[in-house]
Structure 1
Amino acid sequence: MMRFLINVYTFSMIIAAAAVSAENPAEPCKLCGHDVPAPVSSQPDTTIHYPQEKHLKNIRQLTNGGDFAEAYFSFDDSMIAFQAKSAKWGTKCDHIYYFPFKDGDMKNHIPGLISEGLGRTTCSFFMPGDTSILYASTRSGGSECPPEPERRADGKYLWPIYPDFDIYVANLKGQLIDTLVKSPGYDAEATVSPKGDLIVFTSDRSGDLELYTCKIDGSDVKQITFDLGYDGGAFFSPDGTKLVFRSSRPKTPEEIKEYKDLLKEGLVAPTNMEIYVCNVDGSDLRQITSLGKANWAPFFHPSGEKILFSSNHAGARGFEFNLYMINLDGSGLERITWDPVFDAFPMFSYDGRKLIFSSNRNNGGTRDTNLFIADWVE
């Protein structure tokens, strides 16, 4: 569920600098959980594009009024599947939608609902042929939204690992076709290889949160990672031979105990993660970043030689996430976006010409997170 999970990035420079006070209290951001100062209503953010964002041009805002995240292209680049929580759409927790670009944008109408409004959902992705979409849902545990974990006294942000999450496939009318991946416990965060032959997902079926692959029909499940810690949010390289993912690796006895204790409660703390790469069979596992804090939401550059990801390593206040790009050998770190609050969930179109991502920019002085699409400039 995490692929998309840490989402709350941008207000404007002025809003991000707003002081926290009794009149302007801090609240945890809806997507990343870190404290975000309340916006200054007299100076709402109206920024779409920052001058430093040289790799992006012709940025367009697709959504307005809610929390929108994890938008991923169809194989033919004509549609996106995404998750959304929006009072305007009558949703109390994340649900899955799809949207054809020929429809213009989603500001004035509700796109097609895929997940039937049942349970809580996450991590949608088009299947080969673009006539169906996979997603994870807690629907087997009930039609209502499951409770979110209470915030602890120490302020630590925690992600729920709902045991009712399984991976389903539905057609574009929202009709359920198949239960693709199901086991006792958490199965979610699935994405599909550009080759159309494999799916990667995260599961706790081994007692730890590890990566698994299966064939496109859900058969031949294979465990890919084995080290203690949360492995998730995996994506395939453009040629389908590699995986990139985020991971926590508790080292000290205290860190290991905390991780295991939280996992027993169905929780994980996503505040210390780095980016890793391996072959699709799990071989040649390598750590790419050593930046500290939370590095996540990675996606391969169209060349297959670089990775885009979201990170708060350069921020002073924890909630300041931006997109960065780095070479596969860990060199050449480059900042891509400059919003002072939140940018995350990047995905390139299959033709490599477009980038879609989630951001808090131009949210009218609210804490809303919206979808943006831009032309990519090398």
Structure 2
Amino acid sequence: MNTEPEQVSLNDLAGLPSMATLVLTVNNRHARRILADLSAMLDAQRQVMALPDIMPVSAWLRQAGDQWSFASDNGLAAHTVDAFGALSLWRQVIIEAETDHALLDVGNAASLAQEADRLLSEWQLEVPPALQTDEYRRFMVWRKAYRQRLHDMDAEDGVLGFERVYQAIVDGKLHFDFQNLVLVGFNEYSPRLRGVIDALRAQGVAIFALQPSQVDAAQVERVQAADPDTEWRLAARWAQSCLRANPEGRYAIVAARLENDVALAHRVLREALGADGTAPAVPYNIAVARPLADWPLVRAALCWLRVLRAFLLHGRCEPSLAGAALLSGGCAAHVVEAPAGEQMWLT
């Protein structure tokens, strides 16, 4: 039996009954794109269109969790822990579990553990005992302690909430009003998502997948550069020639390591697309940003929150936390005491 979703076009999607159709996308960007593509189909003959619900799968799972919370046997926890609170709890659990072992970066370990927990749940992974490493076994100790702490708090995080909703759908206890489900942007389906799809199909929901809109390249050319710097300069020169020839055109440079090369990208694009004696500057956009926690003011706020949390929970604060907060600034006396602080740390 073929369980792969039936492929449909954008016109087929527009023809489905909107009130009985749900469109699930892999992320927000795909949701906005589908909405824009459907809106572009409007013309003089068709000025109004009823749109189906279009949302990322993560948002739909949260919505399904809200719906399931009204059931009598929902097993809902009394409290919900957001991503920031979950990360803080991971840090606390890891510190308590590793009292005999000093970790160089507890924050990074907590972040990696949080992501590993999500992946284990999403892909329903089980590592055979013969393949388990020491790192994996330590992580499982952290995970067990983390989930026990949530249980003691009568709380759940996003992963446990999704697991609860998933089980309710698979068990046939959670039903929905739509009769058509259209999936957009998924290259593959995780076991958890496939379980949801199979359960919805068993409930009589028709499952479709939107055909990706692909445009065949008119010309393909391979250019090999000696190093990353030369590669970026060649790409910037190509963008310059295209935009000078057609200022209204839209062109893209797709980089695999843009987060690491963003400073280099800004420099070479500014040089190539800036104003010169013959042409004005050409506007461009680089769609990447450093993490919010890397900005000085946000980093300072997070440091002071850790200090306040330590005093609230333990009535005291470790010198490392207080030192990081004082160095980050962001407090009332920062401007006045900054010179003295610099002298103190230099001596």
* TM-score normalised by structure 1 residue count: 0.20
| Structure with max Cα Rg | 2
Which has more helix, going by share of residues?
A: 2
Q: Which has the higher strand share?
A: 1
